Chain A
Amino acid sequence: MEQIGMRRKIYIFVMKALMMVSAALTCALVGFLMIYVLWKGLPNVTVRLLFTKPSYLSGQIGILPDILNTLYIMIAALVIVIPLGAGAAVYLTEYAGNKKLVAVIEYAAETLSGIPSIIYGLVGMLFFCQFLNMQTSLLAGALTLVIMNLPTVMRTTQESLKTVPQSYREGAFGLGAGKWRTIRTVVLPGCIDGVITGCILSAGRILGESAALLFTAGFAHALNGFFTGLRSSGATLTVALYVYAKEQGEFGVAFAIAAILMILTLLINLLATSVAKYFKRRRSL
C-alpha cells in the first residue's frame, strides 16, 4: 500500500468537495425554481383562467387566447421549418460535393444558432412586418421562429442521416434506382427520428421564446381561430407572462403562466429523453 502525502490528500479532498458542492448547487437551483414556481403558481391555475379570455368588464383575466396563440405559432413555425431544415440536411449529406460550400453552409447554421433572439425579433419586425407588410401578426412571429429553429432541425436531421448505412444507398443504386428515388425510399425514412427530435427541441424553444416575438407577434389577447389568428397580433404564453408581470403587476397570473410553462417544459424534456431512448433501442435491434 503506497502512502499519499498530506498535501495531496488535502488537494483531493478539496477538489472532490468543490465538485460535489457545485453539482449539488446546480440541482438545488433547479429544485428551488421548480418548487417555488409551482407552489406560487399552481393555486392560481383555475378553470376560469384557463378557459376564458381577459374581460375588461369584469376585470377577470383569462389566458385561453395566449394558450391558443402559442399553439398556433408552434404549429405554423414547425410546419415551415421541418421541410426547410430536413431539406437542407439532405442536401448537405446526400448531394453536396463541394467541401467549401458545405463549410459555408455549416458556418452559416452555427452563426444562426449564436444570434440572440432580440436580434431575430428586430430583423423579423423589419423584414416580415414592415417590408413584407404582414404587420405584427402571429405569422410574422412564426416566420421569425422558423429562422431561429432552422439550425436545430438541420443538425438533428443531419445526425440521423449519418446513421443510415452507406450500403443501403448503394443497394438502391445497384437495383437501378435514381438519386431522388433512393432518397425518397431509403434515405428519408431513415431520418424520421432526427426530424422528430428536431420537432421536439424546436417546440421547446418556441414555447420559451419571448424576445423574438415581442415586436413580431405583438401583445393582443383576442380569441381567434387558426387562420384569423395567424393574420392578427397575439401574445404567446411567455409574452403574456412578461406583460402581466412587468407592465401590469399581475403576479398571480404571471406565476400561473410560469407554472404552466414549467410543467410543459418538463413534459417536453421527458418526451425528448424517452424518444431518444426509443430510437436508440430500435436502431440497435
Chain B
Amino acid sequence: MKDKQFLENIVHGMFLILGLITVGFVLLITVYLVLSGIPAIREIGLFDFLLGDEWQSTAAEPSFGILPFILTSIYGTAGAILLGVPVGFLTAVYLAKEAPSGIRNVVSSAVSLLAGIPSVVYGLVGMLVLVPGIRRLFHIPDGASLLAAIIVLAIMILPSIINVSITALEAVPREYEDASLALGATPVETYFRVSVPAARSGIAAAVVLGVGRAIGEAMAVMMVSGNAPNMPSLFQSVRFLTTAVASEMSYASGLQERALFSIALVLFFFIMLINATLNFFLKRSKEE
C-alpha cells in the first residue's frame, strides 16, 4: 500500500514537471533574449538604438539605429492588415453564414492549404512573379520593395483571419439571428448588422492574430523586400525587424551580433504586447 502511494506520488511529480515545461520554455526564451539583448542597448544607448535612423553595422564607424526597421515592420504590418482584413473578413462571413455546404467545403480546404504552404514558397513565388510585376507596373529599377512584402504578408495572414473570424461568427447565438430575421431583416442584413457586431471581439482577436503573424514573418519577407536598411517607402527596398536579424546573423560578431540580439528583444517586446491584446479580446469574446 505504501509502495503504491509512493508510485502515485512519483507519477504525479513527473506530470507536474511536464505541465510546467511550457512555463519553463517561456522563461528560458525571455531570459535569454533579455540577457543577450540588453548589453548592446547599453553600449549604444537606448535612445540612439531605438530612434537612430541609420544602420551601418559593418562601416568603419558603425551606427546602430533601428528606427527604419521598427517603422518598416509597423508600416508593413499595417499595409498587410489593410489589404488582408477586408478580404479575410468578408470571406469568413460568406463561409460562416452564406455559403452552401459544398462551396464551403471547397473554400475551407483551400484556406487550410493556404495556411500550410511554407513561407519560403510564398517568398519564391513573390520573388519571381510579384517583384518583376511591380517593377514593370510602376517603372522602378527594382521591384523588391515594401509593397511586395505587404502583398505577400496580406496573403499569408488570410488563413488566420478567416479561421478565427469563422469561429467567432459561428458562436453567435442562433436566437439573435432568428430575432433579426423575424423582424423583417433579410439574411445579408442580419449577418452584417447582427452577427458581425455580436462577434466583434472574436473578429478583433482575428485581426490581432494577423498582426502577430505579419510582424513575425521573416523568410518570405526577406525574399521579396530587398533588405536595404532604408526608411520605409512603398517602392523602396526595406528591411523589417525580423529580416534585420536573419540577414546579418550568419556572419555577425562582436557588437554587431549583440545589436542583432537587441533587435530580437525589441521584436519580442512587440510580440508580447500583441499577445496580451489577443488574450484580452479572446477572453472578452468568450465572456460574450
Q: Is the CB of A36 within 8 A of B223?
A: no
**Contact of B18 (CB < 8 Å), options: A4, A26, A36, A87:** A87
Q: Is the CB of B186 within 8 A of A4?
A: yes
* Smallest CB gap from B227: residue in A: A246
**Contact of B125 (CB < 8 Å), options: A36, A91, A121, A154:** A36
Q: With A123-B29, A150-B25 in contact, is A258–B95 under 8 Å at CB?
A: no
* Smallest CB gap from A208: residue in B: B118
- Residue B179, interface by CB 8 Å: no
Looking at the assembled complex, report how far the CB atom of B35 sits from the nearest CB atom of chain A, in whole angstroms: 9
In the bound assembly, the distance between CA atoms of A84 and B8 in angstroms comes to 19
- Residue B147, interface by CB 8 Å: no
**Contact of B124 (CB < 8 Å), options: A20, A30, A255:** A255
- Residue A251, interface by CB 8 Å: yes
Per-residue A-contact encoding for B70-106, CB less than 8 Å = 1, 0 else: 0000000000000000111111011100110001001
* Smallest CB gap from A120: residue in B: B29
Looking at the assembled complex, report how far the CB atom of A210 sits from the nearest CB atom of chain B, in whole angstroms: 5
Q: Is the CB of B119 within 8 A of A210?
A: yes
Q: Is the CB of B33 within 8 A of A119?
A: yes
- Residue A88, interface by CB 8 Å: yes
- Residue B41, interface by CB 8 Å: no
* Smallest CB gap from B93: residue in A: A19
Interface of A is mostly: helix
CB neighbors of B among A96-131 (8 A): 96, 101, 104-105, 107-112, 114-123, 125-127
Q: With A115-B216, A208-B116, A265-B116 in contact, is A88–B21 under 8 Å at CB?
A: yes
B: contact size bracket = 35 or more
A2: chain B residues within 8 A (beta carbon): 184
Per-residue A-contact encoding for B10-24, CB less than 8 Å = 1, 0 else: 011011101111110
CB neighbors of B among A224-274 (8 A): 238-239, 241-242, 245-246, 251, 254-255, 258, 261-262, 265-266, 268-269, 272-273
Q: With A27-B110, A104-B23, A255-B124 in contact, is A123–B28 under 8 Å at CB?
A: yes
Per-residue B-contact encoding for A1-18, CB less than 8 Å = 1, 0 else: 010100010011001101
In the bound assembly, the distance between CA atoms of A150 and B29 in angstroms comes to 14
* Smallest CB gap from B19: residue in A: A91
Which of B45-53, B134-142, B229-237, B271-279 is the contact stretch?
Answer: B271-279
Looking at the assembled complex, report how far the CB atom of A95 sits from the nearest CB atom of chain B, in whole angstroms: 5
Question: Chain A residues in contact with chain B, CB under 8 A?
Answer: 2, 4, 8, 11-12, 15-16, 18-23, 25-27, 29-31, 33-34, 36-37, 83-84, 87-88, 90-92, 94-96, 101, 104-105, 107-112, 114-123, 125-127, 147, 150-151, 154, 178-180, 183, 204, 207-211, 214-215, 238-239, 241-242, 245-246, 251, 254-255, 258, 261-262, 265-266, 268-269, 272-273
Q: Is the CB of A179 within 8 A of B12?
A: yes
Q: Is the CB of B188 within 8 A of A268?
A: no
